[in-house]
Structure 1
Amino acid sequence: MSGATGLEGKQIVVVNWRDLDHSLAGGAEIYAWQYARALQEGGAKVRFITARDEGQAARETRDGIDVRRGGGALGFYLFALLWMLRHRNDIDAVIDPACGLPSYSPLVLRRSTPAFLIVHHVHQAQFAVHFPAPVAAFGRWMERVAMRRVYRRQLTAAVSESTATEMREQLGWNGTVRLLENGADLPPYDAADAQNKDADRIVVLGRLVAHKRVDLVLDAVAALRARPAFADRDLLVDVIGQGPEGERLAAHAAELGLADRVVFHGYVSSEEKNDLLGRAAVHVCGSDAEGWGQAVIDAAASGVPTVARDVPGLRDSIRDGKSGWLVPDDISPGVVTGRLADALSNALIEAADPTTRVHRAEACLKWAHKFDWSQMRSNARDLTTEMLLGRAPALPDCHNPRDLRVAV
């Protein structure tokens, strides 16, 4: 890129729990890597500190970025803190996304070194899903109390307005939270091609982990197949993604009588993903909560509307009634399943008409094209320059990093 950015020669560290090649990588990893790319494009020397998955090298260079790996799911935090402590005199700034918890980098940095905390979504409810009660309680305290205290003087951003609201209501966050939205990889898809979609094809996109609640989607599909209106419909489900819930979900699909109706594709290339999305009529997301809903925008970029629960992140990434449909949430899984089934029924009945599919695809594409990674990277450079030099970026439109006043 041309023109001075204020980042030339700066030594900046991006600390993220996983990198793009980690077996459990998802939207947060894409976001962190795009941020690292933004800094590298701006002339900074970037080091990406992350966990080391099985088979990964301890160090490599990718896209001109120096990647350092160490530690596992929890050992990574100690590895990252010790690495930053050893190199603190050579660090000008740290970008510190919270993937459940951030690295707490200010504890080991020089007082003059700024750290930029980026919150994808608040995990107070998710800790109990993944950890035993004592560990979950400690995790909630680390997020609600320790994170706020450690980063109280640092620049902070959320990836969506829902996340900023969660920070205020659940974490008691004070001060200003900037908004730095996600981008998207937009394939060359023409809305007219929606005429060729399979009206009976449903897609689920994302990591196979507990809080994504793919089980609820399978339950909804099973309920739908039992309805008379779908007796002659040949419903198929493509599940794109991998994760620790994969085997359990495959067994659940078999228990529901869906073994021959659901294909678990695991990890696929971008080309394969776009091909599967290009054939799908409806995307369904059963997540308990998201920071943003990257899968929703990826689906919309291929003309696929999403049925999802009306929860944080998903209500930001879906234009209800246009690029998809939000169903009211409930504490009862059975109630949620029924509502997802009803919304999916309506979506599939609509999808049976090729002309309607094209109109819906047009709305999806119009929404998806409001987000792109080049814009996100530009905004990321502006915020980093502001943090380093005290020079505020220009704010020409609603997708630039804007202030959200978040007070107790």
Structure 2
Amino acid sequence: MPHPDPRHVLLLSMHTSPVDQPGSGDAGGLNVYVWHLARALGQAGWRVDMATLDRNPSHEPGVRETRVADGVRLLGVALPGAAQTPKEGLPRFAPDFGRALATHYGRTGRRPSVLHAHYWLSGVAALEAARNLDVPVVLTLHTSAAAKNLRAGPGETPEPREREDAERSAVAGACRTVVNTPVEKEQMVRLYGADPQRVTVIPPGVDPTVFHPPEDPDRAARPGFTVLCAGRMQPLKGQQVLVRARGILRREHPETPVRVVLAGVGSPAFLAELHATAAEEGVADAVEFIGSLPRRQLARLMGDVDAVAVPSSSETFGLVAVEAQACGTPVMATDVDGLRFAVRHGETGWLVPGRDPAQWANAMHRAARDPGAWRAMSHAARLRADELTWDDVAAHHADVYLACARAARSAYTPTCDHRVPEP
């Protein structure tokens, strides 16, 4: 068995590649998180591998390495029959994904000192790989089945029991579970029976080179008040709530010119439903669908609009909300889970009590009626985002990795060194 490199980490993101554009396919906040964490660790002197499922059906089974940044490689794992399998069918490939990575490191003569799994599928794969490599696992679920099912709204398909059981096993088997907020830590303890000493809170960061206020915003060129919702188009994210809310605004406050911009892609069925709802509400002319945007273009748009809306039913953090604040734009977000941490109510935006379209219509009406007061929160929003940097995120993760690696070497505990300081 090759000796582990003490500053070598493998980040597993099986179901979606960290280098994919967020807002397309299954790519979203998780992709942003893994990519920026990897890059910041690489800049800090770590050797970083990111592993994802190779989706090219012409590739032979095996692992392909691609250098994507200083100190960072992407490992594409090709498995027979997995390339064109939808996300729902991937659980059966997770153990093979983990075994393929273990075999790869066995052949290279070098192995990481810790595996960091992102999302539950990667958790299953990481535990399998760890058994073969004899290294500890750090887990970040990003979303959990139990929490999502508690918050699920109309039209949201419940997460399967298979996922919840797998998440519980991954939490139990991990050296340390990393979560975004104290709220998520409490959920891990209450819903999954996690040992609170083995759950570490590390909020995500924001890239200030991408997300910052535009030097020449063209907000004034837009008629009325513009609200942007950016992310995957799916019931959980709540685009349907905004469309219904715009309909209520037109009926109750026809004098209030609000434009809703929806950025992202989703299933054809859900997109068709959104278009039909806009037509039914009589607001097809006030709802704009612009598809998925590159990060810099999205950041520019965030800085140009009047408000960014996050009407999700659940979010472990809500990275879009903080990215919008970094662009100087206040945020309207559902008063739930990690969004309560990301948005400071009345200071950097508003927390809307629920997902009733009438509540969102009221919030948009209030903001559009007094845009000056709404925009007065811009400075505080920027300061909030300045508190969160990827360098800090990487440093806190490095502390966790090194503690777990020390514990594995010394057999201090079969799970984890509990002396890792909280950030």
TM-score of the alignment, normalized to the shorter chain, above 0.5: yes
TM-superposition CA deviations, 1:284-335 (whole Å, max 9, x none): 1110110111110111112211112111011110001111111223xxx6xx
1:4-403 pair list within 5 angstroms: 10-16=7-13, 17-19=15-17, 20-21=19-20, 23-53=25-55, 59=64, 60-63=66-69, 64-70=72-78, 71=82, 72=85, 73=87, 74-75=89-90, 77-87=94-104, 89=106, 90-98=111-119, 102-110=123-131, 112-124=134-146, 126=148, 136-143=160-167, 145-151=168-174, 154-176=175-197, 177-186=199-208, 187-189=211-213, 196=220, 198=222, 199-228=224-253, 231-244=254-267, 245-329=270-354, 336-351=356-371, 353=372, 356-389=373-406, 403=422
Aligned 8 A contact 2:340 2:351 in 1: yes
Note the C-alpha offset of 1:10: 4.2
Q: Determine the C-alpha separation between the residues in 2 that align with 1:272 and 1:305.
A: 18
Q: Determine the C-alpha separation between the residues in 1 that align with 2:117 and 2:58.
A: 22
The code of the aligned residue for 2:162 comes to: F
Sort the Cα spacing of 1:194 and 1:97 in 2 relative to 1 into closer, same or farther, 3 A.
Answer: same
Aligned 8 A contact 1:15 1:80 in 2: no
Aligned 8 A contact 1:80 1:103 in 2: no
Superposition RMSD in Å? 3.1
Q: Which runs of 5+ in 1 are unaligned?
A: 1-6, 392-400
Note the C-alpha offset of 1:104: 4.7
Sort the Cα spacing of 1:339 and 1:165 in 2 relative to 1 into closer, same or farther, 3 A.
Answer: same
Aligned 8 A contact 2:41 2:48 in 1: yes
Aligned 8 A contact 1:49 1:67 in 2: yes
Note the C-alpha offset of 1:402: 5.1
Q: Determine the C-alpha separation between the residues in 2 that align with 1:271 and 1:163.
A: 29
Sort the Cα spacing of 1:125 and 1:183 in 2 relative to 1 into closer, same or farther, 3 A.
Answer: closer
Q: Determine the C-alpha separation between the residues in 1 that align with 2:242 and 2:291.
A: 17
TM-superposition CA deviations, 1:262-303 (whole Å, max 9, x none): 111111122321232122111111101101111101111122
Note the C-alpha offset of 1:386: 2.8
Sort the Cα spacing of 1:384 and 1:146 in 2 relative to 1 into closer, same or farther, 3 A.
Answer: closer
The code of the aligned residue for 1:237 comes to: V
Q: Determine the C-alpha separation between the residues in 2 that align with 1:323 and 1:8.
A: 43
Q: Determine the C-alpha separation between the residues in 1 that align with 2:261 and 2:120.
A: 27
Aligned 8 A contact 1:49 1:80 in 2: no
The code of the aligned residue for 1:102 comes to: G
Note the C-alpha offset of 1:13: 1.3
How many residue pairs were aligned? 375
Q: Determine the C-alpha separation between the residues in 1 that align with 2:251 and 2:126.
A: 53
Aligned 8 A contact 1:101 1:142 in 2: no
Aligned 8 A contact 1:179 1:402 in 2: no
Please state whether the residue corresponding to 1:80 is helix, strand or coil: helix
Aligned 8 A contact 1:15 1:103 in 2: no
TM-superposition CA deviations, 1:104-158 (whole Å, max 9, x none): 522342474111112323222546889977x712222222x3233332xx12211
Q: Determine the C-alpha separation between the residues in 2 that align with 1:340 and 1:40.
A: 42
Q: Report the TM-score when normalising by structure 1.
A: 0.81
Sort the Cα spacing of 1:125 and 1:179 in 2 relative to 1 into closer, same or farther, 3 A.
Answer: closer
Aligned 8 A contact 1:282 1:348 in 2: no
TM-superposition CA deviations, 1:225-277 (whole Å, max 9, x none): 2123xx23332111111222334323322332222211111111223212321
Please state whether the residue corresponding to 2:308 is helix, strand or coil: strand
